[in-house]
Structure 1
């Protein structure tokens, strides 16, 4: 499986964050300590996303995200130190990849996946992902179909409309993570104050619950950011949180021995802003509540 890292707070060196600590994300690419249910290293590519504007605040949600990805192992790419080391941002999402057997090793399959001001990483796997996500797509369509028509407008563009499996063809790569991002991206674009989805947290929560309804063995550690906040889930894999006075870090594994690191238990939803973090239980299907 993969390892990912999210930061939100005062400006930080993008490359420095990736290489921070004796057990940095960089080091976790070849020496992870808590890989669960498969995988020993994360050598199938990597990616880093950051938000270009330095004064991230109220306007951050409308700023575009920048990204660098490579299908090669992170330790082979000098750009991590030479280029990313020259950049600063108030929010960063980075990931190193361990590809599921049978899925392509290519740049387009590497997280973070991005859209406008959003960046997304998935640590995990969805068994039989094509069948599962087609079923989830039908469930999402039902959620919007049962919403009050006068209040909720159905998304119209191909990248956000639900109901046809063809929407999954908009995935960057032929992988579960890329297809998952198509569905989450559509939910994020459909957020309205009066609609069935009113916040990023609700979008993440709904998607995880629907996938687990159809595929209880799915592993769904998600990490989403918009430059001002981070949203994450724990579903099978490890995640730790460090909350400081002015920043918050989410990481698959702690990168150092700072006593402020807190391990997040399984089946949780995490919402992080600078210096603050809330952790609540995911709302799961009845079968999942019994099993977990």
Structure 2
């Protein structure tokens, strides 16, 4: 499993979100507190962020551990953003993808991360391949299961599904083809955060919950939210998202919907014709 985090709020340095918290994503790369599968997240990391007046996110990824990259430490010290998605990747079997397998994945205005695993990958993905156009399969960003999950989500987004429906339908479809999969998905367009819990932990801290700051620093103005695999500190205002839930949030509100309710909706919807 991996650890990931998304943030919407007042412009904040990447370091204050990811590095400086006592139990932030940086520390979670070697000492996560609530990770259910795996113990070290050292096979790559990435961070994506949005600059003012530009809807297309920037991204920085590497194949090695986050603690071993001095360039990231320098970048995190100065880069500020009102919207961020970052992830550290669990140690896994060797593969050819390198940093291409590290989240966040991106296309258009979206950033995406998958915390989990597709059970029986890649054999169990065979029934899902027919739902994707050939061009999408040939342009997968990596050969890992997370890149394939992103392709399924992105296909739905580009055909016009809203983010919640795109994530929920993808999770339910994969679970049917590969039971036992762990599918905590995290998606942002810089204005909203959408996430699922399916087999691992997810928490959120709604603004004006505090971000970690040095002595004498003022609390930032505005509203916002942090959504993360686990809390970056021991603030009692963190709230755990129940398993099998869809989270949809913006800077002012959070909506939680049981995925079992959406399963009923999906079962009653007309089936999609396969792509050719």
In the superposition, the TM-score normalised over structure 1's length comes to 0.80
In 2: Cα distance, 1:274 partner to 1:130 partner: 37
Question: Any idea what the Cα deviations from partners look like across 1:130-159, whole Å, max 9, x if unmatched?
Answer: 343331243xx4xxxxxxxxxxxxxxxxxx
Alignment of 1:1-292 (within 5 A): 1-37=1-37, 39-53=38-52, 63-101=55-93, 103-104=95-96, 106-138=98-130, 141=131, 162-164=132-134, 167-191=136-160, 197=161, 199-245=162-208, 246-283=223-260
The answer on whether the counterparts of 2:43 and 2:92 sit within 8 Å (CA) in structure 1 is no
SS of corresponding position for 2:122: helix
C-alpha displacement of 1:105 = 6.0
C-alpha displacement of 1:34 = 1.6
Instruction: Flag the 1:114–1:181 CA change in 2: closer, same or farther, 3 A.
Output: same
In 1: Cα distance, 2:96 partner to 2:158 partner: 28
In 2: Cα distance, 1:96 partner to 1:30 partner: 10
The answer on whether the counterparts of 1:234 and 1:265 sit within 8 Å (CA) in structure 2 is yes
In 1: Cα distance, 2:263 partner to 2:250 partner: 28
Instruction: Flag the 1:163–1:171 CA change in 2: closer, same or farther, 3 A.
Output: closer
In 2: Cα distance, 1:220 partner to 1:100 partner: 17
Structure 2 unaligned spans of 5+: 209-222, 265-276
In 2: Cα distance, 1:100 partner to 1:168 partner: 23
Q: Provide the aligned C-alpha RMSD in A.
A: 1.8
In 2: Cα distance, 1:275 partner to 1:244 partner: 8
Question: Any idea what the Cα deviations from partners look like across 1:78-122, whole Å, max 9, x if unmatched?
Answer: 122211321111100000001433545611110000112100000
The answer on whether the counterparts of 1:99 and 1:105 sit within 8 Å (CA) in structure 2 is no
In 2: Cα distance, 1:252 partner to 1:205 partner: 18
In 1: Cα distance, 2:96 partner to 2:231 partner: 28
The answer on whether the counterparts of 1:212 and 1:285 sit within 8 Å (CA) in structure 2 is no
| Aligned pairs, number | 249
Q: List structure 1 runs of 4+ shifted beyond 6 angstroms.
A: none
Structure 1 unaligned spans of 5+: 142-161, 192-196, 287-292
In the superposition, the TM-score normalised over structure 2's length comes to 0.85
Question: Any idea what the Cα deviations from partners look like across 1:184-205, whole Å, max 9, x if unmatched?
Answer: 11111110xxxxx3x1111111
